[in-house]
Amino acid sequence: MKDISGKELCKILKQNGWELKTIKGSHHVYMKEGRKERISIPVHSNESLKKGLLKAVIKLAGIKLKPTDKQVD
């Protein structure tokens, strides 16, 4: 699995219709109209997210990465 930072994941979520609702410290909270889930992304500079968190967020958001995005195995 390739590394993706919190900043990059935020961009991917935004491209898929998720809206930034609030920022608490270093955590960006995203919501999407018609969905009850809230997704909190830790944004620490360009530090890579851990694989488990990345997979869980992608699954929860219901998104599939495009070939132009960094791939997740």
Give the predicted TM-score (pTM) of the model.
Answer: 0.81
Residue 69 to residues 15, 24, 34, 38, 44, Cα–Cα distance (Å): 11, 27, 25, 22, 20
Q: Exposed e or buried b for every residue in 17-53, given b needs 16+ CB within 10 A?
A: ebeeeeeeeeebebebeeeeeebebebeeeeebeeee
Helix (H) or strand (E) holding 29: strand 27-31
d(CA 67, CA 73): 12
pLDDT one-digit tens code per residue, 33-69: 999 999 999 999 889 999 999 999 999 999 886 655 5
Catalogue all structural domains in the chain, each as residue range(s) with its CATH number.
6-61 (3.30.920.30)
